[in-house]
Structures are given as structure tokens and as C-alpha cells.
């Protein structure tokens, strides 16, 4: 069922809200071993049901009336703690709602709980979470992807129709791909980040994970648009994306890339080729594009991202909020021990890298170099978009791997984001779409900045043609 169908069933009385949620809670509890939720409170779910019932006794049901939603645990909801997947914030209770959460509640959505993630959104597998990894609901020996791991898993395991995640370098699209669902990251500045913990400010975006494109469009129209509390809110209006039932690929120019220039697993390659030929058969003109800078994307990302991470993480010092060590005599000890005990290994690694990249001694050489190549990449994308309407790449370079198998190899994990990170670096929009059912490769439609409606329509059309 999609949002409109489920909402209508509640309103018509065909489905009983309380019965539906009692069953949903049973499903969630029976799948506890997937380790999807960090915070989950039944009483809060029934409190929300009571609220929307009271509010709607005059028949003015919100657009998300009764729809189950999960939130990545870096999005603030004042009824549940917000850990960001870290020991640093294990007991942190936020005192306000993120703008996106207020907007969901206003439309009568039900917040099911806060879901697992890589620590402070750094990771690709959920294995950097202080609360242990989430398992992939399709095959629980595999990673679900990350960092919005619980978001993807909760939708794939049918615990929520939609989940909000965050994407700074693929964290919505990559887990969506690994869990065989849809994951959308809007153009930079489209959805408010107020109340979402920052990882790397020039890259972070709130994104939406769902089982269908239509629900992504419905949700974006509700949570997107201008927010005067977010200085990066670049739209001065509401979002009102329309699905055009007549949209098709005739006359569309779709840019593709030569996968032989990249290291990619065979199945991912085959699925990409499958999608390209499908899109071609639907009437699109396929245009091969040559990218000079794409192969540097993960290196540029590492430099820019860790520099921003090191500055964002400096607020966690044990003094204002969050974890505080028991072991200190001097102020130096307090900082060092708090941060060494409170942050996991991956977060510490990135803080160390970022501090090096920003160091004054070498005149911030690498950071400046990274920003220069970032500009070249962005110019290159703009030039390509003069030739095509949409750029098509695989979402990831590999399929989900066995839990635990790459913990010792962070560099290979970084490389899997080759096609994800440039979209963030250049502020573009993107949606990841499954090609086949089950564990398989996915594709990304990448669009020009603010041309989200184009890629969403293309995704909707592809989804219908492919099913
Ligand atoms: N895998 C990427 C990383 O670890 C994605 C991060 C993100 O998008 N939040 O940096």
C-alpha cells in the first residue's frame, strides 16, 4: 500500500488505526534481531494516534494521516532521545523538533521511532554505530548499507512507509540500493536541515527512503521548502512537485558513463546495462559522456568532508552536553578522555584527517586543493548537462557485502561511493532506483540543481515501466 491508499483506508474506516499499529508493533518486536531501532516507545505511538484522532473529529485529515514514518537518529524529535549512533550522545534528550518533524506531525504522520545509523552519519554499513550493526532485511548476513541504515531497513522490512535519512555522500541512496528500495536526495537547500545534526555542512541533505516514487513526491511536497531557521534554505517558496502521468522518455537525452573506466562488481555492471537498454527501448536517446574528474570524487570528498567533520565534531567536548569522562584531573585530560572514549574509531579517524587537512602549518594545502577540484567537477557536470537532461550511473560500485567483512578496510568502503559523492559535492539532485527485485544493482538518475521534478518524473515512469 502507498501513502494515499493507507491514508484512505484509515479515513474510510476500512482499517482501524489502533489495530494496524498493534500489528505493526508486533512486527517490529518480532524482528528485533535486525537491530533497526535505537529508540522505540509504544506509549508515544498511541499518544500520537490519540492526538490525530482528536484533531480530526471534524474530518480535516492531514495529508499523512496515520502514515508510519521512521527517523534516522540524527533528526531531532523531542519525545525520543537522539543519539546520532554515538556513545557521545547515548543519553541526549533533544528539546525541540526538527522542522521536517514538525511538518510531518502537522500532517498527522505517526513517528514510529528513531532508527540506527553509522556514528554521526559517517560510514556505509551501520558498523560504526555504537549500538551495533543493523542487518539487511533481505538477507541478514549482509550489511544494509549506511549511514541511513535503519531508515532503509525499516522501510524494506515494512515497518514504515517512509523514512527520513540524511545524505552527505550517498547515505540515503546507498542503503536504499542495498535494501532494494527508492532513495531520494533533493537539490542542496530544498529541505530544511534545522534540527538535523551536522556532519559536513556543505554536503548534508535530508533525504527520503520509500518503496515507491509517488510517496517520495508526496513527502517532499510536505517537508520541503523555505525555512527561516535554516540559513542554507535556498528556495523562497513551498515545494510543489507534480507527477505528470504523460511523462515519457521520447525526446529525452540520458547521459551514460563507460563503466570500464571504474572498478565495479560484475552484477552491478550487468544491472546498469539492463537499465540502460530498458530506458533506450522506452525511447530515450542514450548519450555516452566522458568525465575527466569523476574518478577523483572520493578523494575530493574525503578531504572536504573530513575537514568539515573535524570542525563540526569540536562541539562535543564533554562540557556542554553529551558524554563526560570520569577520568580527569586537568582540563586537557577532560577533553582528551571524553573524546577518546565517546567517539568511535571511524569518527576519530576523520577528525584526525580533517585536522591535518585544515592545519595552518601547511597552509591548508590539501583542503584548498580539494575545493579547487570540487569546482572543476561542478563545472564539468554543468557542461554535461548542456548535452543531456539526466545523467544515469549505478548507485554503488558493489553489492552489499557480509557484515564484518570490511571493517579492517575503510579505504575500499570509501571507494564504493564514487557515484554518490559528486552529487553532494555539486549540490545536484538524485534518486536511486532498484533495477531488479532482491539483492541487485540500482541506478541513479542525477539531475541539474533544482530540476528535481524532472528526475522524479523519470523515476516514476521507469518504475511503472519496469514493474
Ligand atoms: N559513506 C559516506 C561516508 O561514510 C556517506 C556519508 C553520508 O552520506 N552521511 O562518508
Contacts of 209 (CB under 8 A, 6+ apart): 148, 151, 152, 155, 162, 163, 164, 165, 172, 175, 176, 181, 182, 183, 184
Catalytic residue among 86, 129, 149, 171: 171
Quote the ligand 1 centre to 121 CA distance (angstroms): 6
What's the pLDDT score for residue 361? 85
What's the pLDDT score for residue 175? 98
Q: Which fold does the domain 1-313+361-467 belong to in CATH?
A: Amidase signature (AS) enzymes (3.90.1300)
- State the Cα torsion 215-396-303-72 to the nearest 10°: 30
Q: Is the pLDDT of residue 59 over 80?
A: no
Q: Is the pLDDT of residue 192 over 80?
A: yes
What's the pLDDT score for residue 189? 96
What's the pLDDT score for residue 79? 98
Ligand 1 residue neighbourhood (C-beta within 6 Å): 121-124, 147, 166-171, 199, 305, 417
Contacts of 186 (CB under 8 A, 6+ apart): 205, 206, 207, 220, 224, 429, 452
Region 234-255 average pLDDT: 94
In the annotation, is 171 catalytic? yes
Region 91-110 average pLDDT: 97
CA separation for the pair 279, 449 (Å, rounded): 22
Region 250-276 average pLDDT: 96
What's the pLDDT score for residue 320? 85
Region 267-284 average pLDDT: 97
What's the pLDDT score for residue 8? 97
Mutation choice for ligand 1 from 144, 147, 312, CB with most ligand atoms inside 8 A:
147
Strand partners, 255: 287, 391
Mutation choice for ligand 1 from 175, 305, 401, CB with most ligand atoms inside 8 A:
305
Strand partners, 185: 430
Q: Is the pLDDT of residue 56 over 90?
A: no
In the annotation, is 314 catalytic? no
pLDDT tier at 414 (50, 70, 90 boundaries)?
confident
What's the pLDDT score for residue 183? 98
Strand partners, 70: 113, 163
Average pLDDT score over the chain: 96
Residue with the three cell numbers 554499513 = 125
% the chain with pLDDT above 90: 93
Contacts of 334 (CB under 8 A, 6+ apart): 318, 319, 324, 325, 328
Beta strands 110-115 and 37-40: pairing type?
antiparallel
Beta strands 182-185 and 429-434: pairing type?
antiparallel
Residue nearest to atom 5 of ligand 1 (CA): 169
Q: Which atom of ligand 1 is nearest to the CA of 305?
A: 10
Quote the ligand 1 centre to 417 CA distance (angstroms): 8
Q: Is the pLDDT of residue 19 over 90?
A: yes
pLDDT tier at 387 (50, 70, 90 boundaries)?
very high
HSE (side-chain half, CA atoms, 13 Å) at 97: 12
Q: Is the pLDDT of residue 457 over 90?
A: yes
Quote the ligand 1 centre to 356 CA distance (angstroms): 20
C-beta of residue 88 within 8 angstroms of C-beta of residue 64: no
Q: Is the pLDDT of residue 58 over 90?
A: no
C-beta of residue 57 within 8 angstroms of C-beta of residue 45: no
Domain residue limits, the chain: 1-313+361-467
Residue with the three cell numbers 559528486 = 422
Q: Which atom of ligand 1 is nearest to the CA of 122?
A: 4
- 267-300 per-residue burial string, b: 16 or more CB within 10 A, e: under 16: ebbebbebbbebbeebebebeebebebbebbbbb
> Cis bond leading into 147, ω under 30°?
yes
Region 53-62 average pLDDT: 85
The candidate with the shortest Cα–Cα distance to 42, out of 107, 106, 98, 111, is 111
CA separation for the pair 426, 423 (Å, rounded): 5
Region 87-101 average pLDDT: 97
Quote the ligand 1 centre to 116 CA distance (angstroms): 14
Mutation choice for ligand 1 from 75, 170, 176, CB with most ligand atoms inside 8 A:
170
The candidate with the shortest Cα–Cα distance to 110, out of 165, 62, 68, 51, is 68
Q: Quick: pLDDT tens for 366-385.
A: 999 999 999 999 999 999 99
Q: Is the pLDDT of residue 123 over 80?
A: yes
CA separation for the pair 250, 263 (Å, rounded): 32
Quote the ligand 1 centre to 1 CA distance (angstroms): 30
pLDDT tier at 328 (50, 70, 90 boundaries)?
very high
CA separation for the pair 50, 357 (Å, rounded): 52
In the annotation, is 103 catalytic? no
Catalytic residue among 76, 126, 147, 168: 147
Amino acid at each position: 500500500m502507498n501513502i494515499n491508499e493507507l491514508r484512505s483506508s484509515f479515513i474510510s474506516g476500512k482499517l482501524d488505526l489502533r489495530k494496524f499499529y498493534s500489528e505493526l508493533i508486533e512486527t517490529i518486536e518480532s524482528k528485533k534481531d535486525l537491530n533497526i531501532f535505537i529508540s522505540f516507545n509504544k506509549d508515544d505511538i498511541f499518544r500520537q494516534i490519540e492526538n490525530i484522532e482528536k484533531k480530526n473529529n471534524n474530518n480535516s485529515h492531514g495529508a499523512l494521516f496515520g502514515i508510519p514514518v521512521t527517523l534516522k537518529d540524527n533528526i531531532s524529535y523531542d519525545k525520543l532521545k537522539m543519539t546520532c549512533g554515538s556513545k557521545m550522545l547515548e543519553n541526549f534528550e533533544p528539546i525541540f523538533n526538527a522542522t521536517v518533524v514538525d511538518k510531518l506531525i502537522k500532517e498527522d504522520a505517526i513517528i514510529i521511532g528513531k532508527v540506527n545509523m553509522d556514528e554521526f552519519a559517517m560510514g556505509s554499513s551501520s558498523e560504526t554505530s555504537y549500538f551495533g550493526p543493523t542487518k539487511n532485511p533481505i538477507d541478514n548476513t549482509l550489511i544494509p548499507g549506511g549511514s541511513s541504515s535503519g531508515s532503509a531497513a525499516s522501510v524494506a522490512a515494512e515497518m514504515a512507509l517512509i523514512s527520513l535519512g540524511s545524505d552527505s555522500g550517498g547515505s540515503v541512496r546507498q542503503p536504499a540500493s542495498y535494501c532494494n528500495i527508492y532513495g531520494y536526495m533533493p537539490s542542496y537547500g530544498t529541505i530544511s536541515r534545522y534540527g538535523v545534526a551536522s556532519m559536513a555542512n556543505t554536503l548534508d541533505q535530508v533525504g527520503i527512503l520509500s518503496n515507491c516514487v509517488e510517496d517520495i513526491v508526496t513527502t517532499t511536497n510536505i517537508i520541503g521548502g523555505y525555512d527561516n531557521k535554516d540559513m542554507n534554505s535556498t528556495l523562497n517558496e513551498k515545494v510543489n512537485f507534480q507527477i505528470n502521468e504523460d511523462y515519457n522518455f521520447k525526446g529525452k537525452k540520458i547521459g551514460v558513463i563507460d563503466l570500464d573506466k571504474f572498478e565495479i562488481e560484475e552484477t552491478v555492471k550487468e544491472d546498469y546495462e539492463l537499465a540502460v537498454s530498458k530506458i533506450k527501448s522506452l525511447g530515450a536517446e542514450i548519450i555516452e559522456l566522458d568525465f575527466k574528474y569523476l574518478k577523483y570524487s572520493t578523494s575530493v570528498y574525503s578531504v572536504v568532508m573530513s575537514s568539515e567533520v573535524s570542525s563540526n565534531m569540536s562541539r562535543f567536548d564533554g562540557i556542554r552536553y553529551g558524554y563526560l569522562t570520569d577520568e580527569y584531573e586537568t582540563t586537557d585530560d577532560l577533553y582528551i578522555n571524553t573524546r577518546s572514549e565517546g567517539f568511535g574509531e571511524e569518527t576519530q579517524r576523520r577528525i584526525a584527517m580533517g585536522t591535518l587537512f585544515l592545519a595552518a602549518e601547511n597552509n591548508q594545502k590539501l583542503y584548498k586543493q580539494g575545493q579547487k577540484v570540487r569546482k572543476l567537477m561542478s563545472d564539468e557536470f554543468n557542461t554535461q548537462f548542456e548535452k543531456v537532461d539526466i545523467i544515469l550511473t549505478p548507485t554503488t560500485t558493489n553489492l552489499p557485502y557480509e557484515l564484518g567483512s570490511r571493517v579492517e578496510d575503510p579505504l575500499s568502503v570509501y571507494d564504493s561511493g564514487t557515484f554518490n559523492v559528486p552529487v553532494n559535492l555539486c549540490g545536484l539532485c538524485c534518486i536511486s532506483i532498484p533495477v531488479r527485485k532482491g539483492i541487485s544493482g540500482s541506478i541513479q538518475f542525477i539531475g541539474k540543481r533544482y530540476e528535481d521534478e524532472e528526475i522524479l518524473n523519470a523515476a516514476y515512469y521507469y518504475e511503472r515501466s519496469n514493474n
